[in-house]
Structure 1
Amino acid sequence: MEFAAFADRAIEMEETPADLETVGLVADLLAGAGDDLETVVRFLLGRVFPAHDTRTLEIGPALCREAIARAAGPNVDSDDVEDRLADIGEIGAVAASYEFGGQRGLGAFAGGSADGSTGPGEPLTIAEVDRRLRSVAAAEGGGSEDTKLDELFGLFNRSDPPEARILARLVLSQMRIGVGEGTVRDAIAEAFLVEAAPETDDVDGSSETGDAETADESNPADVVERALQVTNDYGRVAALARDRGREGLREEGLEIGRPVQAMLAQAGTAADAIAEWERAAVETKFDGARVQIHYAPAAGIGPELYSRNMDDVTDALPEIRELIEARVDVPVILDGEVVAVDSDGEPLAFQEVLRRFRRKHDVERMREEVELRLHAFDCLHADGEDLLDAPFRRRHDRLESMLPERSSSTSVVEDAEAIEAIEANALSEGHEGVMLKDPEAAYTPGDRGRRWLKRKPDVETLDLVVTGAEWGEGRRASTLGTFEVSVRAGEQNGNSTFEPVGKVATGLTDAELKSLSDRLNPHVRSEDGTDVEIHPAVVIEVGYEEIQESPTYGSGYALRFPRFLGVREDKDVPDADTLSRLERLVGGE
């Protein structure tokens, strides 16, 4: 497929307001993608690699602007591109505003054509753009920046305005065409699974299958969603759906060494859990970092350790790797929490975990300073058997049989009072609270449903001023999101000054997000790519779990897990909370 055809269709999607129409456009594109199907799917989502792949392009806005400037000609430099970006506000539109193609020299060939790539004057193809961007990702060490710049320059130099518009967004993972993961999922189903669902064997109530939100075989989108949960690869799933249909998708399972998204919890109460499930499995909620463990000793895989964001953190956690090697002798995929402890085994603050979690240097020295302990709480795969659909009670039993000393302690209770007693004990031991889990629930990767609930003590709220935001992605591309929130820090020349304390991206419904975005739009001061500076005018109420000292913000503090609670219609900016109040809260006053 020519890249121009992809770019034209992507722009058409961007200009299509209705979600259902967009699904149809994506489905048509996928149906005609041929051998480029997997790449086309990833490009639509602003990716070169699958979500489980830790490789990245490592291209920042400055490098992208430099490549655009070089392709635009000798009379254009990076500062000119930056000035135009300030005027236009979006990097794709900036790239499309230049006429490329006039540059000559080796760089204009995008690295030559020894690998079968098309040359100058020939149209760019999806396959070539993919190869070039993978080459960018592979560049490292001395001269890597020049290599990246040469490749990008060569691609831009052969792009017409629509191609340049989409290419600039792709390399920065900022597609903003109204196509999110849900749209692609539905489009895969529409393009390749529109035939009637096949007959399936009935399963009676005695099955050892969890009763969480498993795929409905009569709904093509649910079949696709299930395959996405176990592969974490939209391109692969699209190819499976096209080539092998429902059968191929159903047969796809977990793969050791390929991380999946973590199952997540909603906030809830003890009464909620008992009312919804009749009984609840209660576990201590630790103040640590999520970790997913992959190990297949006979196959020589691992142990490999992945963060909640699926980053490989194996090298930073040698004691966890050693524990798994010593205690586990069958292939497994485990879910758990890594907690920092003192010399007496008492839990330390979450910040101590972060000192270790992504460290690449001085790992052994830091290991002596900060001890980490694993608390495993789920088993997704064991000894050749995928356990995602098994009820939680069975998965936990399997976990305990392998790691009895490092498995979470679980009590199944039938009344709220028992939950509250366990919670009180967890809090007295210095932990965050408790997790409540439906004993019959399956494990649903990436889902934040009502099968897991987190119980923690009530927290303070702050009334904060919105001073910045970012444009959303996918179906939220036309709305502001990820709001920077600030406290009043003082006055300068008669005007209030503000210092940020965090970014809020959770707690808003789609309707609230649109309403807040509409309220903030008149106060936008400037834009730089997706980043937006906002004049202080709107106060929102923000909940949080903890105030941490942080060098990231000028205030010196950061809110941990901030969430949107509502707009303070009754408050103006002078009524917002101050830095001095934040300091009093940290001091416990």
Structure 2
Amino acid sequence: MHRFATLYTELDRTASTLAKRGAIASYLRDAPAGDAAWAAYVLGGGKLRRLATSTELRQALAASTGYADWLIDESYEQVGDLAETIALMLPEGDGSLADEPLQTWMEQKLPALAKLESADRVAQLQAWWRALRPAQVFLLNKLITGSLRVGVSHRLVVQAIAQWSGQPTDLIAHRMSGQWKPAADALTALTHAAGDDEHLADRPYPFFLASPLEHEVEMLGDMDEWMAEWKWDGIRAQLMRRDGHVGLWSRGEERLDGRFPEIEEAAAALKSDGVIDGEILAWDAQEKLPRPFTALQKRIGKLKPGAKLLTSAPVCFMAYDLLEHNGSDLREQPLRERRDMLAALIDGVDPALMLSPPVVADSWTALTVERQQSRQRQTEGLMLKRLDSPYRVGRKRGDWWKWKVDPYTLDAVLLYAQPGHGRRSGLFTDYTFGVWDGDTLVPVAKAYSGLDDKEIGQLDRWIRAHTTDRFGPVRAVEATHVFELAFEAVQLSARHKSGVATRFPRILRWRTDKSIADADKLDDLRRLASG
């Protein structure tokens, strides 16, 4: 635990990607294999189950310190992170458990904690805290609450493993795709030289991600070198059939088997094996258009959808790339060849599996006109892909671009704020905004990105001085400030008090030039959602 806590602290204190990658690589080199495997798993975004409630953690802190509940609550409000609050308020432990291996904690101690009754769990937390130093207490509580946020991505962990092992990053990324389990032998398996059967394992390939087009489209050069297609708003996924067995993986590397049986049945009917990259969409077969993303949400959480849901919320798999065919890895072949093979593979198959059609235009100007039809087609814009491009790993610029339509915007009033997470846990950075419904401001969007550090600091000070009410960590504030928000779509929603839900809201700018009377009206959003 001591070694991993030191690494965690080092990662938390730097914003340098190179420094973080080097620190992780050094840890992997020096740590026992079992500890290194678990570190790679948790830092790379592996799912951690919450093992104790916030109430239990607070009870254990109160019992360990004798502090009153109000003092703990006030301290937590100032710090913004319960794990850090506990580490700061506890008396320093004796360190007798500091050298206990991370593997022992993850495989024995923490699973045993989850099986205890609540009172025994509180007592166990106290015993552990007495035996650890503050940095280790902080880390332990992060593991217990399942919120290990330290500014490290899965991609960065992959790069660190590649740096440590000397193997190509793409190879490590592929081996860690899917349901990679942390174990010493699993870590060893990541680092050996590539074999001929790398693609045969039951796992997806790392996804190739497009970059946003931030310059004039004409700068891409000769239009004949590019293919355009609609940017679909669904669930990015890989559909695979290997040795006749069908699997479906999300971009988040979650198995979706059983959730979309119509897609799996279509894949089972393919003429040959293959791995297809594409998008799961809620689909209107009559209109031949995707339905709003909210229609797809009805299916996401259903492990085994019933007949009624299958009928009311039909889906399709919009295929746009072929990564593997009959056991052969196609990713280094040019896109134009992969597309031809994909079209041949799914030709005549069930309509639940269809080819993403190219958007044809004879000039960039004509394609710009086509892009203006994106919202009518229930898409987010266009994808531009170089026809001779390989299928790369991650977000590598140059070959695939997403040319999204301009977002919708609205002017809204700041109503509520709460502390952020990680590096911003001591600042109010998560905001709720409202618009006018008659003479009342009603919440319509939450956003936490778009302001720079100076603006965040300024707004944080204002929020603390102009709080009107408190609801746990959330503060209601005086209706004073107007912000311009961007969002991709708005839909009617019975689950929201306002009756609408905005998709991907974020802050564009702080409108210090506007008063709250200038904010938009809820009726405008409702009309937009209905239209």
Distance 1:22 1:266 in 2: 23
Deviation of 1:33 after TM superposition, in Å, equals 0.8
Work out which of the residue numbers 82, 85, 106 in structure 2 matches 1:91: 82
Deviation of 1:251 after TM superposition, in Å, equals 8.1
1:522 and 2:446 are equivalent in the alignment:
no
Q: 1:190 to 1:99 in 2, by over 3 A?
A: same
Q: 1:479 to 1:410 in 2, by over 3 A?
A: farther
1:318 and 2:264 are equivalent in the alignment:
no
Note if contact 2:37-2:187 (Cα within 8 Å) is conserved in structure 1.
no
Note if contact 1:306-1:312 (Cα within 8 Å) is conserved in structure 2.
yes
Deviation of 1:273 after TM superposition, in Å, equals 5.9
Question: Within 5 Å, which residues of 2 pair with 1:218-367?
Answer: 223-224=168-169, 227-228=172-173, 231-232=176-177, 248=193, 253-254=198-199, 256-259=201-204, 262-268=207-213, 272=217, 275-276=220-221, 278-279=223-224, 280-298=226-244, 301=245, 303-343=246-286, 345-360=288-303, 362-367=305-310
Aligned twin of 1:471: 420
Q: 1:373 to 1:243 in 2, by over 3 A?
A: closer
Q: 1:424 to 1:186 in 2, by over 3 A?
A: closer
Note if contact 2:14-2:20 (Cα within 8 Å) is conserved in structure 1.
yes
Aligned twin of 2:401: 453
Please give the root-mean-square deviation of Cα atoms over the aligned residues, in Å: 4.6
Aligned twin of 2:3: 5
Work out which of the residue numbers 410, 423, 429 in structure 2 matches 1:462: 410
Aligned twin of 2:487: 544
Distance 2:238 2:157 in 1: 26
Aligned twin of 1:40: 39
Distance 1:394 1:478 in 2: 52
- TM-score (norm. length: structure 1): 0.71
Deviation of 1:174 after TM superposition, in Å, equals 3.2
Q: 1:126 to 1:516 in 2, by over 3 A?
A: same
Note if contact 2:61-2:86 (Cα within 8 Å) is conserved in structure 1.
no
Deviation of 1:409 after TM superposition, in Å, equals 2.2
Aligned twin of 1:486: 434
Q: 1:444 to 1:82 in 2, by over 3 A?
A: farther
Note if contact 1:44-1:175 (Cα within 8 Å) is conserved in structure 2.
yes
Q: Which amino acid in structure 1 is aligned with residue 336 of structure 2?
A: R
Give % identity. Answer: 23
Q: Which amino acid in structure 2 is aligned with residue 41 of structure 1?
A: A
My pick for the range that moved more, 378-387 or 410-419, is: 410-419
Distance 1:401 1:167 in 2: 53
Q: 1:164 to 1:558 in 2, by over 3 A?
A: same
Q: 1:485 to 1:384 in 2, by over 3 A?
A: farther
Q: 1:272 to 1:131 in 2, by over 3 A?
A: same
Question: Within 5 Å, which residues of 2 pair with 1:72-471?
Answer: 73=63, 84-96=75-87, 97-98=89-90, 124-132=100-108, 135=111, 154=124, 157-159=127-129, 160=132, 161-177=134-150, 179-181=152-154, 184=157, 187-188=160-161, 191-193=164-166, 223-224=168-169, 227-228=172-173, 231-232=176-177, 248=193, 253-254=198-199, 256-259=201-204, 262-268=207-213, 272=217, 275-276=220-221, 278-279=223-224, 280-298=226-244, 301=245, 303-343=246-286, 345-360=288-303, 362-405=305-348, 406-410=354-358, 415-420=363-368, 423=371, 433-447=381-395, 449-455=397-403, 457-466=405-414, 467-468=416-417, 471=420
Deviation of 1:565 after TM superposition, in Å, equals 2.9
Work out which of the residue numbers 2, 17, 26 in structure 2 matches 1:28: 26
Distance 1:183 1:149 in 2: 39
Aligned twin of 1:501: 445
Distance 1:347 1:559 in 2: 18
Note if contact 1:286-1:339 (Cα within 8 Å) is conserved in structure 2.
no
Question: Within 5 Å, which residues of 2 pair with 1:572-587?
Answer: 572-586=515-529
Q: 1:156 to 1:333 in 2, by over 3 A?
A: farther
Note if contact 1:261-1:310 (Cα within 8 Å) is conserved in structure 2.
no
Q: 1:365 to 1:376 in 2, by over 3 A?
A: same
- TM-score (norm. length: structure 2): 0.78
Tell me the SS of whatever aligns to 1:158: helix
- 1:534-582 CA deviation, whole Å, 9 max, x = no partner? 7455433222222112245432222123344333342344433233443
Distance 1:487 1:333 in 2: 43
Deviation of 1:351 after TM superposition, in Å, equals 2.2
Deviation of 1:515 after TM superposition, in Å, equals 3.9
Q: Number of residue pairs matched?
A: 513
Distance 2:102 2:419 in 1: 29
Distance 2:124 2:200 in 1: 37
Deviation of 1:531 after TM superposition, in Å, equals 6.8
Structure 1 unmatched runs, 5+: 50-54, 103-119, 194-219
Q: 1:448 to 1:365 in 2, by over 3 A?
A: farther
Tell me the SS of whatever aligns to 1:314: coil
- 1:273-320 CA deviation, whole Å, 9 max, x = no partner? 67345332122344443332132235xx4x222334333332221111
Q: 1:294 to 1:338 in 2, by over 3 A?
A: same
Note if contact 1:392-1:439 (Cα within 8 Å) is conserved in structure 2.
yes
Tell me the SS of whatever aligns to 1:316: coil
1:63 and 2:53 are equivalent in the alignment:
yes
- 1:187-243 CA deviation, whole Å, 9 max, x = no partner? 5465554xxxxxxxxxxxxxxxxxxxxxxxxxx9xx436632663489999989996
Tell me the SS of whatever aligns to 2:139: helix
Q: 1:520 to 1:57 in 2, by over 3 A?
A: same
Distance 1:423 1:562 in 2: 22
Distance 2:175 2:230 in 1: 27
Note if contact 1:468-1:485 (Cα within 8 Å) is conserved in structure 2.
no
Q: 1:24 to 1:336 in 2, by over 3 A?
A: closer
Deviation of 1:164 after TM superposition, in Å, equals 1.7
Distance 1:374 1:224 in 2: 29
